[in-house]
Structure 1
């Protein structure tokens, strides 16, 4: 479900954007603004999902996420203009906000506590599997982006049926690890670095998700399979980000965060410097894919350790701020690309990403045992 909501419904837009632009006559600014709707919808639905998951458990929100992704991509497949496309984007983007908190809650219900960190980060890496699928689909179906979205929608429907049958019905009884109405946190002081880091990382990564494929296409002499391969590399290396849980255990949360922040900023800078060199562009894609999934896993674990009383809230807050940053970053990237060009936009976003190194989890988040709820 994470693969189809994040990888297909949300992030495949950047891969298919050149063909969408050509079909619907969209400017770079309009493309960036439309992309921001993915993240704007996410901001709304992740709050809704966090509240309902806390009250009712994970099942309803997971199924609603699949339905939202299915309808959204179906609308994008048949859209006659940019307005209908935008509405489909809202539904497709909203699915990712709906799906994140309930899986965090499901893990707290069904997975042994000592294994929950790894489980969260591996489920999070499902995004990468979806990105690989979207890259393969783009290669075989280029430039038929409408047919591509139609196939993605059918696949999502199958996944929705699978989840409907697999997720237990009803409440979880005494095993419910979160309480109705429990939105307390340890204190604003603990949450401030998490909020700031998530926001900055969201802004800095938006350009890569929306415009990286378009950037390498106009900057170098790439074949269709090389352009699709660029996206597949993001997904394949993203799977490695699932090891963030293990690295957090061995090196600590602060070390994992700084490593991820430095890596993801360098990806945009590398692409800004050498977009026409396929080796460097693929290196940039690999670093970005691995570090993005890695970093979201780190933010996920960090959030749960701050919002210890509520696992769904612990996922919801950092992912919400990440999406808020991506709303800002997408619009900013569209404007910068239209005004100064791709290279300047990616360099600015990369340098901005480096500022995230100045913030991060403290030693108190390094051990779960040291965190207690008020």
Structure 2
């Protein structure tokens, strides 16, 4: 019997607790370092090279957290990795808030960033077992969109720090408190599946099943999305700040307002499941890559115009949140027997793209004497987003779509039998 066939009483606490977990893990725990980097530079005297090394170490911790979280899920069920992720976020953000040395700061930032590797994929397993079948896509959309609230709140606290002299340490203490609250909220929410990973296929069979033809568009989309999203998050603030956008009063960085717009617009991700239900998965995926291309183009063409920067950030926020939700239910539909394993594989591909993007973009930007620079980086990001749909087969994407992508064509979905 598949573990998906085990009947568990549905609970409304799951989407709320998952939303809070991703809000913390993929919001301040993963992004606050970049958002507050100017303040951290001033406090600790960080050089550009050292700041980059800390950022790389934080990303490495996230990447390491993915297989560790998957292992915990396999042996202890979905609650264990979420609680570990909550603990690392709480401890890391708290340590960074009271850091007196660069080593303490780096340790806190890296520890906090690792929480993102633990705190998302377990919900695919939990949603397949707890949420009613007709609500699973919506549940996963709600959970993945938690990131946008975390980012918006982080941006709001950065604004408060700039205009009131609040200080970055107070903001990080608030983040640590939120991480503790998230950890406590997930104890009862995930109790129905605590300690029970379910009976899953053998590891070899699970990995072999990931090589099916229907996974190719998912893999291409994941790598492309990883490259473009990392490019944007790495260089958008520098591009806008250098051009003088969004400088208001004591605010000399575009980061707080850019992140607020990014986060608020990302709330559209809550409707991802419903939108996909109306237009189908192929049309939704193509539309998101088109919106990403426009976001990059605006930042390339008008980096000094506040309206263009805010619109660009809003588009990118919506794209990142909606695409994250899409990956969550896309992988779960293709691999209903191994939803968390498949989603972890997708996140690894996104992470690989995230390594490639900033590395190449940074080299290209530094070679700006030839006229490429950050402007060229954003033109390249726009081109990649615009061209990616050409490598995606609508017929293969349709295998995981909730409806036909052409009027009158019968969809060939591969959902599992109702639990």
Separation in 2 of the partners of 1:85 and 1:207?
24
Q: Please, which of 154, 164, 175 is the counterpart of residue 134 of structure 1?
A: 154
Give the secondary structure class of the aligned counterpart of 1:100.
Answer: coil
Separation in 2 of the partners of 1:152 and 1:213?
22
Give the secondary structure class of the aligned counterpart of 1:232.
Answer: helix
Shift of 1:103: 1.3
Pairs within 5 Å for 1:193-342: 193-221=217-245, 222-223=247-248, 224=251, 227-340=255-368, 341-342=373-374
1:70-125 residue CA offsets vs partner (Å, 9 max, x unmatched): 12222333445555444333322211110111111111121001110111011100
Q: Please, which of 361, 371, 374 is the counterpart of residue 414 of structure 2?
A: 371
Asked if the contact 1:128/1:236 (under 8 Å) is kept, the reply is: yes
| Residue 338 to residue 187, structure 1, CA distance change in 2 (3 Å) | closer
Separation in 2 of the partners of 1:227 and 1:44?
27
Residue in 1 that maps onto 2:4:
none
Separation in 1 of the partners of 2:49 and 2:279?
41
Pairs within 5 Å for 1:166-181: 166-168=189-191, 171=194, 176=198, 178=200, 181=203
Q: Which runs of 5+ in 2 are unaligned?
A: 1-20, 403-410
- How many equivalent pairs are there? 372
Higher helix proportion: 1
Give the secondary structure class of the aligned counterpart of 1:370.
Answer: coil
Asked if the contact 1:75/1:85 (under 8 Å) is kept, the reply is: yes
Residue in 2 that maps onto 1:45:
65
Separation in 1 of the partners of 2:54 and 2:242?
21
1:344 partnered with 2:362: no
In the superposition, the TM-score normalised over structure 2's length comes to 0.80
Q: Please, which of 171, 180, 183 is the counterpart of residue 157 of structure 1?
A: 180
| Residue 247 to residue 371, structure 1, CA distance change in 2 (3 Å) | same
Asked if the contact 1:268/1:284 (under 8 Å) is kept, the reply is: yes
Give the secondary structure class of the aligned counterpart of 1:189.
Answer: coil
Asked if the contact 1:131/1:231 (under 8 Å) is kept, the reply is: yes
Q: Which runs of 5+ in 1 are unaligned?
A: none
Asked if the contact 1:14/1:212 (under 8 Å) is kept, the reply is: no
1:21-52 residue CA offsets vs partner (Å, 9 max, x unmatched): 34444455554453343433222211222232
Asked if the contact 2:28/2:151 (under 8 Å) is kept, the reply is: yes
Which sits farther off after the overlay, 248-257 or 353-362? 353-362
Which sits farther off after the overlay, 313-322 or 50-59? 50-59
Asked if the contact 1:7/1:130 (under 8 Å) is kept, the reply is: yes
Q: Which has the higher contact order (CA 8 A, sep 6+)?
A: 1
| Residue 83 to residue 191, structure 1, CA distance change in 2 (3 Å) | farther
Which sits farther off after the overlay, 30-39 or 251-260? 30-39
Give the secondary structure class of the aligned counterpart of 2:206.
Answer: coil
Separation in 2 of the partners of 1:317 and 1:162?
27
Separation in 2 of the partners of 1:81 and 1:338?
30
1:171-208 residue CA offsets vs partner (Å, 9 max, x unmatched): 577x9474575625264423233222211210111122
In the superposition, the TM-score normalised over structure 1's length comes to 0.89
| Residue 312 to residue 260, structure 1, CA distance change in 2 (3 Å) | same
Asked if the contact 1:29/1:338 (under 8 Å) is kept, the reply is: no
Asked if the contact 1:70/1:156 (under 8 Å) is kept, the reply is: yes
Q: Please, which of 39, 48, 55 is the counterpart of residue 35 of structure 1?
A: 55
Give the secondary structure class of the aligned counterpart of 1:117.
Answer: helix
Asked if the contact 1:18/1:214 (under 8 Å) is kept, the reply is: no
Shift of 1:357: 1.8
**Greater gyration radius:** 2
Separation in 2 of the partners of 1:257 and 1:241?
13
Q: Please, which of 39, 46, 56 is the counterpart of residue 76 of structure 2?
A: 56
1:252-310 residue CA offsets vs partner (Å, 9 max, x unmatched): 11111111112123212211211110011110011011111011111222211222211
